[in-house]
A and B are shown apart, each in its own frame.
Chain A
Amino acid sequence: MYISKIKVEGFRNFKNTEVLFDEGINVIIGHNNAGKTNLLKALSLVIDSTGGSKRLDVDDFHKQIELSEIKQNPPSIRISLFISESTDENLHSDDLVTISNWITKLDKPYEARLTYEFFLPETEKGDYVKAIDEVKEVETAWKIIKRDFVRKYVYKIFGGDPKFQNQAEAENLQKFDFQFLNAIRDVERDMFTGKSTLLRDVLQFFMDYEIKKDTKRTKQEQTDEIKKRQVAFETKTKPVIDELLGRVKEGQKEILDYATKTGASFNQANPNFEGNVTETELLSALKLIIEHKTGIKVPATHNGLGYNNLIFMSLLLAKMQANADGNYYGSNAKVYPILAIEEPEAHLHPSMQYKFLKFLKENNKKKVRQVFVTTHSTHITSAVSLDDIICLHGEDNKINIGYPGKVFSNDEDGKSSKAYIERFLDATRSNILFAQKIILVEGLAEQLLMKTLARHVNVDKQLEDFHVEVSNVGGRYFEHFLKLFDSNKSNTIHKKIACITDRDPERKEKSGKSFEKCYPFEYNADFVNYEYKDNASEKINLYAAHPNIRFFSQEETKGKTLEYQIAFENPLLKNLINDSIKNKDELEALVAEYKRGDSTLADFKLRDSEENKRIISGVSSAPSSFSDEDKKKSIIASRYLNSVGKGENALELSVELEKDFDSGSPKFIVPEYLKDALEWLLK
């Protein structure tokens, strides 16, 4: 069995949310305040039979509800866990026994349900309605609930369909071992001495482990053997105690003299000292130390925080192994150990995060049955597969749960997309899973420039403030990514996605076979001999009315690429032409001509080459929508485009644009389509 789903109603930021889980590891990600911790808390309310109070407070209610709703019914919290049959589950194991009374669906795979409810008992409802009836403000209603009613709330855990109100038996609830490590863990100082219960429990369980695990011996033989050792131990410690007693013998008279005088001795009963040491007591003398290769020993408390966190977690895992051992704990043994860790990355170097998650995922299946991890670490997400990731995304108080592993169809196309994304999402690029909004771009230049461009568009709307991630998909592979986010499809993460793609117009000779790239001024210029198309129109139209995805590209008749567009819009901007550009002199001359104002097209001289001839002739026979001004700018932009090497130029350009912006009176004109994209995204 495994916990296959949680349904949270009316709890903190969850109005009514279902989250699906997988067997094994579940990595829950999402931006801050998305509700990751709340989700783990919800789990623990149902399943954690030991730790923490299950009583809640007024602030645990979901507050985004209307006054009319509160008036009708007192707010309540309901959290349901659904437990499903594993594939190939052995029905005659402890699993089915544990949950059988809670079954809601019998045929394979079975489903059982546990429901935590926090509610105002029926008997109090009359008073409640009276108290809240006249209230005008929702705030006041909450105040009244806090002051007069929340203390009357009760909680219950039901098994099966909650409408039948059958309370789940503690006996079976206790079979779940829910260990929760919260984010703010200060690995206690004495965690590493035998005084701590955790370490002592673990030591005690693993003491004489070679006997306990020896299946060749019968249970009786094991017990006898251990008993023998215990007796031997006590025999050995007795002289030590006796020696101690001997050493205090003289002093004892002095000490106890007072007792006699104060009257503490009466009825001939005299205080004395005695003692014996059991193994368990002496265990607390053991300390965890770190022994280095050099032989130097350091107490664990002097260890780095990160290492201690790891050691702590490994002790916990050892403890969980002990808890589930039927030979050791008998019927108190746990059947279903669950580990929930908030942000395991705390204090851990990225490569250790990676290793730790790999360990949890691969080596620990047998001992811990299900693991829940919340994280902000891209190193962790890159250590697990897409299937393990659950993405919480909140916008406008609505929570959407995405399952990146489940968005791909099972056909060839889906499989190849999935494989592509899995390869793509390395530790850096996994950021798209954590961001609030995303800009997908085709190349490095857009990626490098986008942040600066955003400042130029609106200084108050910085990309960082909106948790926008600009991700370079390295070409036109948008479709693979959009499968993750398309809110019209199930299991997706509903983030706002702006895709920025180049117009890249193309033409084909009517007699010819294939389309080839062309300049904007060549586009639609000769319908007699050519057919035309461009790269962006189809996508722009396809997503024009999409709820969370848009495509943006340069203007259809005059656009080509980002660099082309920048030069086209900003022919006078000197800073465009930096040292990393070829044909610098020629370009500067063209800019000078343009600046002169009264120059004609003939004044725009280009170095003699096939490509330049094509530009000149193309511009001269451009469609009628091109003004002379447009034609001049087209020459500069075309020449500029052919002279830049993408990446390095972009870096220099971004530095120049920053300078331009910082000058106080920025001259740079942001291409319209980028402005549109940013405005739509940050709306």
Chain B
Amino acid sequence: MAFEIKNISSDTKIDSIEEHFKVTAGPGAGKTRWLISHIRHVLQNSVRLGNTRKIACITYTNVAAETILERLGVEVDRVEVSTIHSFLYKNLVKPFAFLIPSEHELDITKLDGHDDVPVYKGLLYEWKTKTSQAYITDDNKIIKALSDLAWQFDTTNNLILRPKKPYLGKISSSLSIRKDSYFVYKKMCWNKGLVDHDDILFFSLDLITRFPRLLDIVRAKFPYFFLDEFQDTNPIQTAIITKIAENETIIGVVGDKAQSIYGFQGAKPEQFNNFSLPGIQVYSISDNHRCSNKIAVLLNQVRSDISQVAKRNVEGISPTILVGEKTWAMNKSFEVTRGEVYSLSRSNITSNLLREGVGLFVAKANLLDEIRENDSNTERANILIACITATELGRQSRYKEALKSLSKEIKRAVQKEEIPKQALLILKFLLEKHSTFKPKNLMDFYTIIAGVFPKKISGFRAGSAKTFYEKNIYEIVALSVNIKEDTSLHRTIHKAKGAEFKHVMVVLEKNDKGNFEEQNELGFILNSNLDEDEEHRVRYVGISRAKDSLFINVPSLTDEAKNKLAKKGFDFLFEKEMQAQKAI
């Protein structure tokens, strides 16, 4: 179906608020700004809001939700801004949990929010027995597969539960986890009240399919339903909102297919392109209110489908390639800008490394996962991981999440009323002792927390756990903590989604084997293919966060690449000037 695409700017008020719409626009176009002004527009002019009905505004992250709430100000009582998971949990899953069929084996009296659910060893063994798969002995591989489970549509549009990376289900060339046993595992989790974010999508779709009147309830509450960052929407979410859209509720989506970077969560860029509803109006915003002219020129070269007009009309400094080690690059970029430079990395560990200023560390493995793999005592492993996570969150003043992480483990040890107090005491203790245990190994860390934790943590005998704990230093392990919704100076590109910064340094790195794959890492500029290559889109998102100055840090650079990049408008700075000259 061909649509007439109407060009608008970020302060255009669209005529009809009673038609479905899709707004597509590149980085810095002011999509969110437009969405907020559209919400105001609807609040002021809608005749369908009555005295109680609301506008739903779905964002990708809690931080984004907070930003929108803040910008909306006093009108918020008629707008519900949240992530899709919180929204569905609050409006469908929680109030109608009693309708979830018993065959799903969910214990709804234990249903208490949704969270990441680690694989517990106890449950794992129970599951092996139950599904007669005791012959699979490589527990760590099973854990990897189970941790990767996600709901997805099969070819006949049924929801099935499979690892996102299908190869994880294969234990060896001749041995695979039985496909029908995944759901058994899931139901065992549900029976314990363990519900993850993905399950919320499953339950929601399942509920509205079984009980279409639930759609009427959602429509009654939300005659308008807007979704930001729609390009990263999960297909299940799309299925849900398509159903809601059938009657009464007006759906509006905002996004940019070139910024679709959550493929590993099921998002597909074409889904945004193909998304359509009867009578939908399509708008596009071609302005860029964020970037300097020079950065905008670069962005337009990387991207072929649209050409943005840099509305700020500030010339800016040329984007610069910093060839060298990342701490040097950080310092260099600071020298140039004399301002705060945000580093955006591809991997979580790198961003933590930059934040901590740890120079030498090279391993890319997630050491927190390795704790679980090496310690057969799941409870002990979980307590340690919770304490490490809480410490790192606390150090970034993310106390609420830090306490949540601790509470999960304390829950089984103390009375319900005592949990918050105990969690707070431990967090305070951990933060005070941080400098003590930071340079020590995990064994010492264990001894320190074992003395205060309200629950007895089992001791060690010789074995892989003991060896692992003795070998690894707290400081290094802590680098693996994945701080969701990171708002610090150093984060991953994924966590910079939707944000913008004055000065940005995108960090491109060597692979696991220590080689810098220039064609892969810089390919998004050299031979850009945003439509098909998600890695290109990730880096495109990275560079498009910058307002005034953009740096790209690479460990090395070939002359060929340098020449190509120079033509695209880049400047260059080398850590080892001599070497570079030699190469020339």
Contacts A107-B213, A326-B50, A331-B78; A101 near B95 (Cβ below 8 A): yes
Partner of B98, one of A92, A160, A326, A329: A160
Chain A residue numbers with a CB within 8 Å of B94 are 166
Determine whether A293 belongs to the interface, using a CB cutoff of 8 Å to chain B.
no
Contacts A104-B98, A164-B98; A335 near B51 (Cβ below 8 A): yes
Contacting B at CB under 8 A, from A91-127, are: 91-94, 96-98, 100-104, 106-108, 110, 123
Determine whether A333 belongs to the interface, using a CB cutoff of 8 Å to chain B.
yes
Contact with B along A152-188 (1 / 0, CB 8 A): 0000000111011010000000010000000000000
Is the beta-carbon distance between A106 and B220 smaller than 8 angstroms? no
Is the beta-carbon distance between A103 and B96 smaller than 8 angstroms? yes
Determine whether B177 belongs to the interface, using a CB cutoff of 8 Å to chain A.
no
Contacting A at CB under 8 A, from B266-307, are: none
Is the beta-carbon distance between A92 and B219 smaller than 8 angstroms? yes
Is the beta-carbon distance between B219 and A110 smaller than 8 angstroms? no
Chain B residue numbers with a CB within 8 Å of A159 are 95
Is the beta-carbon distance between B95 and A92 smaller than 8 angstroms? no
CB distance from A98 to the nearest CB of B (A): 6
CB distance from A111 to the nearest CB of B (A): 12
Chain B residue numbers with a CB within 8 Å of A106 are 96, 99, 211, 213-214
Distance between Cα atoms of A108 and B96 in the complex (Å):
15
Distance between Cα atoms of A110 and B213 in the complex (Å):
10
Is the beta-carbon distance between A164 and B417 smaller than 8 angstroms? no
CB distance from B77 to the nearest CB of A (A): 6
Is the beta-carbon distance between A166 and B220 smaller than 8 angstroms? no
Chain A residue numbers with a CB within 8 Å of B214 are 106
Contacts A94-B52, A110-B213, A123-B417; A161 near B221 (Cβ below 8 A): no
Q: Which residue of A lies closest to B223 (CB)?
A: A92
CB distance from B560 to the nearest CB of A (A): 62
CB distance from A323 to the nearest CB of B (A): 11
Determine whether B184 belongs to the interface, using a CB cutoff of 8 Å to chain A.
no
Partner of B95, one of A91, A160, A329: A160
Is the beta-carbon distance between B99 and A175 smaller than 8 angstroms? no
CB distance from A583 to the nearest CB of B (A): 79
Chain A residue numbers with a CB within 8 Å of B95 are 100-103, 159-160, 166
Q: Which residue of A lies closest to B99 (CB)?
A: A106
Distance between Cα atoms of A106 and B214 in the complex (Å):
8
Is the beta-carbon distance between B51 and A94 smaller than 8 angstroms? yes
Is the beta-carbon distance between B216 and A94 smaller than 8 angstroms? no
Is the beta-carbon distance between B217 and A100 smaller than 8 angstroms? yes
Chain A residue numbers with a CB within 8 Å of B517 are none
CB distance from A292 to the nearest CB of B (A): 41
CB distance from B53 to the nearest CB of A (A): 6
**Candidate in B99, B109, B213, B219 with the most chain A CB atoms within 10 angstroms:** B213
CB distance from A13 to the nearest CB of B (A): 32
CB distance from B527 to the nearest CB of A (A): 52
Is the beta-carbon distance between A93 and B77 smaller than 8 angstroms? no
Is the beta-carbon distance between A98 and B52 smaller than 8 angstroms? yes
Determine whether B97 belongs to the interface, using a CB cutoff of 8 Å to chain A.
yes
Is the beta-carbon distance between B98 and A100 smaller than 8 angstroms? no
Chain A residue numbers with a CB within 8 Å of B109 are 163-164
Chain B residue numbers with a CB within 8 Å of A107 are 211, 213
Is the beta-carbon distance between B220 and A93 smaller than 8 angstroms? yes
Chain A residue numbers with a CB within 8 Å of B221 are 96-97, 100
Contacting A at CB under 8 A, from B76-92, are: 77-78, 91
Is the beta-carbon distance between A97 and B220 smaller than 8 angstroms? yes
Determine whether B108 belongs to the interface, using a CB cutoff of 8 Å to chain A.
yes
Is the beta-carbon distance between B213 and A326 smaller than 8 angstroms? no
Is the beta-carbon distance between A96 and B108 smaller than 8 angstroms? no
**Candidate in B97, B219, B220, B417 with the most chain A CB atoms within 10 angstroms:** B220
Is the beta-carbon distance between B108 and A100 smaller than 8 angstroms? no
CB distance from A41 to the nearest CB of B (A): 27
CB distance from A573 to the nearest CB of B (A): 74
Contact with A along B219-256 (1 / 0, CB 8 A): 11101000000000000000000000000100000000
Chain B residue numbers with a CB within 8 Å of A96 are 216-217, 220-221
Contact with A along B549-574 (1 / 0, CB 8 A): 00000000000000000000000000
Contacting B at CB under 8 A, from A66-108, are: 91-94, 96-98, 100-104, 106-108
Contacting A at CB under 8 A, from B44-62, are: 48, 50-53
Distance between Cα atoms of A107 and B214 in the complex (Å):
9
Q: Which residue of A lies closest to B90 (CB)?
A: A101
Is the beta-carbon distance between A335 and B52 smaller than 8 angstroms? yes
Partner of B248, one of A92, A101, A333: A92
Is the beta-carbon distance between B108 and A164 smaller than 8 angstroms? yes
Is the beta-carbon distance between B77 and A331 smaller than 8 angstroms? yes
Distance between Cα atoms of A163 and B563 in the complex (Å):
70
Is the beta-carbon distance between B51 and A331 smaller than 8 angstroms? yes
CB distance from B368 to the nearest CB of A (A): 34
Chain B residue numbers with a CB within 8 Å of A330 are 51
Contacts A161-B98, A164-B97, A331-B77; A94 near B50 (Cβ below 8 A): yes
Q: Which residues of B contact A (CB under 8 A)?
A: 48, 50-53, 77-78, 91, 94-99, 108-109, 211, 213-214, 216-217, 219-221, 223, 248, 415, 417
- 5 closest pairs, A vs B, by CB? A326-B51, A96-B220, A333-B51, A101-B95, A94-B52
